[in-house]
Structure 1
Amino acid sequence: MDFAFDARTEELRAKLLAFMDEYVYPAEAVAHEQRGRLASPWDTPAVVEELKAEARRQGLWNLFLPDSEYGAGLTNLQYAPLAEITGRSPQLAPTALNCAAPDTGNMEVLAQFGDEQQKKQWLEPLLAGEIRSAFAMTEPEVASSDATNITTLIERSTDGTAGTDEYVITGRKWYISGAMNPDCKIFIVMGKTDPEGSDIRRQQSMVLVPRDTPGVTVERAMQVYGYEDHSHGGHAEVVFDGARVPISNLIGEEGGGFAIAQARLGPGRIHHCMRLIGMAERAIELMCRRAVSRTAFGKSLAQQGVVHNWIADARVAVEQLRLLVLKTAWMMDTVGNKGAHTEIQSIKIATPRTVVDIIDKAIQLHGAGGVSQDFPLAELWAGARTLKLADGPDEVHQRSLARHELKKYVV
């Protein structure tokens, strides 16, 4: 394993670091101020569109897609240090580079499983940053960490008016990221086409449902620790009440939804972990700046022993996590997502847990300011804490990882 950055990665890192310093960090306060003057809190501040235009001009666009036909053609190992940099400003940088969830996962699904018409109608405008999208899987009434529990139905029409050339979608979803954004034009919806099927992992399918389809209602925005998470276009509760779409809107094949979801979540999990490391680095930087600039009980915070421990422990933890994430990226590139299963689960367990603790210490060092809007720490904490749930809660990954380990010892 050689984790030295190659020439292309070094070039992109230099460009991206300069882009962050010159454009992204200064835009954070501007975006906050502009958002307060928007007609709707879900509208996009003008500065975000300016960032997107500049990123595209500089070639910092669609870096996440390994398929060179659609994206930058980077490997996971090449993309990892770039995603880490964007994690230092998670509210702006991923969106500016067209590398923000849930669009990234949806573009990966369409690139890998979509037919030519689906790619032309939905993938191309997503790649161009002209529209946004949402992925509708989680449901409020079931434990959606087990996708076999999903109850939303995707049924062939039987009313005789259109034969069986339509699907009828009925169900309720929530925490559907991106759905509040007015630029969100398309949902990828996971539901059951064969709810009585003998193979519980072949009951599910995915279909494309345009947002303006009759029967689709975005009922309300869901908050995350009191935040509305504008960077993702919010998280919504969405009702599908007999919404009809053509059979041609099926992604892949009937019964292929569970496998597609697994293919989508693998890269998504590592992307989150890459960005989490950037969030931790931002927290350490803020911690150190605060420590050398504040005095308590007659000496600077930087002279307090407990602060030394926090900073040292944070540095050790981040270096460990980065190596594990890079190893995972390397394995995904060399042996595939299935071969990197253990490593993907390991980083998904370890990274959010550790980064939450690092950000929490940074908040503590900032006192009341740490939980205020004057620093990004509270919002960083909320985002990191959410990732202990998103893409499968820690306990699900721990269960799977433990069972994999135990198999080695079962005679």
Structure 2
Amino acid sequence: MDFTLSERERGFQHRVRAFTASEVRPRLRDYEDEVAQGDRWAPSQTIEALKVKARAAGLWNLFMPPAGDHDQVDDSFVFSGERLSNLEYALCAEEMGRIHWASEVFNCSAPDTGNMEVLHRYGTRAQKDRWLKPLMEGEIRSAFLMTEPEVASSDATNIQTSIVRDGDHYVVEGRKWWSSGAGDPRCKLAIVMGKTDPSAEKHRQQAMILVDLEAPGVRKERLLSVYGYDHAPHGHGEITLDKVRVPAGNLLLGEGRGFEIAQGRLGPGRIHHCMRTIGAAEEALEALCRRLVGRTAFGKAIYEHSLWEERIAQARIDIEMTRLLCLKAADMMDRAGNKAARNEIAMIKVQAPRMALRIIDDAVQAHGGAGVSGDFALAAAWAHIRTLRLADGPDEVHQRVIARSELRPYRQEAQ
């Protein structure tokens, strides 16, 4: 067992780390001032300027994985970007996660990354020309419409949105919410999951279709807040699809293939979320330590009080354990595929947000009243990371996967 990173792995990790330190972090105040003034829902000019530099530095579309045997890849489609493995990208994603908006600088932010992977793996040449190319160029943004307000969406087979064939079109009807990215004026595409045949076998009822968000019948009803944060200019939308007519050529793979696409999309996305979460935890631990060293209470520096030493030590232990589990999952995905790494993906998806929330909470505590204010990034970070215990499947669904795998041999033995 060798834990040494390869030269290529270290190279990309260090390049993203150096760019973030020299280019992104010095613009933190510029970004905050920009969002606080004027139109908060307009694209950030700070990020747009940094995108030009990141692309020139060869740090663009880093998430796009190498082609696999299962991919519907059209080799004639040319795109810009590196082809990093899950392990290689995981190391980069951690660096991006230290600043919540940094991933967009590298054109590596959700949900665009997952949507681009879907288009690359499963899209036709026409679909790629129409949607993948501008996404990879950073010209437009996208949303993924799966969750619905009327059903328990932790079970994806519950979705009620219908996708019905009508001649050369499909008619899409339903209501979606938590459509992340829908508040951005550049958001032009939605990948929508719905049912084409409710009478089919449970996991063959669904399909995914590409919907132009400017099409007649698409209504953005409202933008949802997360613990009071609206996440402008990104936003999380509730969207009504009222008899939206979509060309039949916009269907991905075919009727009954939606669940298959969803499983292919969510595995890498969960790893991306988890590594960014580890970066956020590192940032919180750094803020915690700086605060404890710089403040005095009851006659001595706060860090000298023993309870804080215990919390700092536990934070470091938790981060290191979580990182190793995440890298193991990414490595398994590269070596054996997403299906073989199913348990590891489930474990890290549960562990990473819980770990980061504990550390962020300790950092808030160390900052006192300032920690829950907008003067520091900790309160917003906690609100964002808390959503990840629900995104891409709630904890309980992943724990069910883990427990069933653990119990399987004993159940077989008992039978």
Q: TM-score range by the shorter chain?
A: over 0.9
Q: Runs (4+) of structure 1 moved beyond 6 Å?
A: none
CA contact (8 A) 2:12 2:88 kept: no
2:391 match: 390
CA contact (8 A) 2:66 2:85 kept: no
Quote the offset at 1:228 in angstroms.
1.2
Aligned mate of 1:108, from 108, 113, 117? 117
- 2:56 pairs with 1:53: no
Aligned mate of 2:85, from 67, 71, 75? 75
Distance 1:124 1:2 in 2: 38
Distance 1:327 1:110 in 2: 27
Q: Give the TM-score normalised by the residue count of structure 2.
A: 0.95
Distance 1:305 1:131 in 2: 51
1:341 match: 342
1:26 match: 26
| AA of the residue aligned to 1:3 | F
Quote the offset at 1:60 in angstroms.
0.8
Deviations 1:143-173 (A, max 9, x none): 111111000001112xxxxxx1111111000
| AA of the residue aligned to 1:56 | R
Quote the offset at 1:38 in angstroms.
2.9
Distance 1:27 1:224 in 2: 25
Cα RMSD after superposing both structures: 1.1
Deviations 1:45-78 (A, max 9, x none): 2101011111111111111111376441111111
CA contact (8 A) 2:350 2:395 kept: yes
Distance 2:266 2:94 in 1: 18
1:225 match: 227
Distance 2:179 2:24 in 1: 26
- 2:185 pairs with 1:186: no
| AA of the residue aligned to 2:181 | G
3-state SS of paired residue (1:322): helix
Quote the offset at 1:349 in angstroms.
0.9
Structure 1 segment 201-216 matched on structure 2, within 5 A:
201-216=203-218
2:136 match: 127
Number of aligned residues: 401
3-state SS of paired residue (1:175): strand
3-state SS of paired residue (1:410): helix
Distance 1:18 1:50 in 2: 17
Deviations 1:191-216 (A, max 9, x none): 0000122x110000000000100000
1:297 match: 298
- 2:65 pairs with 1:66: yes
Structure 1 segment 9-408 matched on structure 2, within 5 A:
9-39=9-39, 41-67=40-66, 70=79, 71-90=81-100, 92-157=101-166, 164-197=167-200, 199-230=201-232, 233-408=234-409
CA contact (8 A) 1:77 1:330 kept: yes
Quote the offset at 1:293 in angstroms.
0.2
Distance 1:394 1:49 in 2: 35
1:160 match: none
CA contact (8 A) 1:3 1:326 kept: no
Quote the offset at 1:222 in angstroms.
0.5
Quote the offset at 1:375 in angstroms.
1.1
Distance 1:395 1:20 in 2: 35
Distance 2:295 2:35 in 1: 31
Distance 1:400 1:19 in 2: 38
Distance 1:121 1:2 in 2: 43
Distance 2:17 2:48 in 1: 19
Distance 2:25 2:231 in 1: 18
Distance 1:2 1:142 in 2: 46
Distance 1:189 1:275 in 2: 25
Quote the offset at 1:319 in angstroms.
0.5
Identity across the alignment (%): 53
Distance 2:213 2:139 in 1: 15
CA contact (8 A) 1:84 1:275 kept: yes
Distance 2:150 2:248 in 1: 27
CA contact (8 A) 2:160 2:195 kept: yes
Distance 1:408 1:128 in 2: 48
Q: Give the TM-score normalised by the residue count of structure 1.
A: 0.96
Distance 2:319 2:36 in 1: 35
CA contact (8 A) 1:174 1:236 kept: yes
Deviations 1:265-317 (A, max 9, x none): 00000110011110000011001100110011111111111110110000000
More deviation in 285-294 or 29-38?
29-38
Quote the offset at 1:357 in angstroms.
0.7
Quote the offset at 1:37 in angstroms.
2.5
| AA of the residue aligned to 2:391 | A
Distance 2:339 2:240 in 1: 34
3-state SS of paired residue (1:135): strand
Quote the offset at 1:13 in angstroms.
2.2
Distance 1:2 1:265 in 2: 28
More deviation in 60-69 or 293-302?
60-69
CA contact (8 A) 1:35 1:44 kept: no
Distance 2:97 2:358 in 1: 16
Quote the offset at 1:249 in angstroms.
0.4
| Structure 1, gaps ≥5 residues long | 158-163
| AA of the residue aligned to 1:144 | S
3-state SS of paired residue (1:42): coil
More deviation in 59-68 or 142-151?
59-68
CA contact (8 A) 1:153 1:171 kept: yes
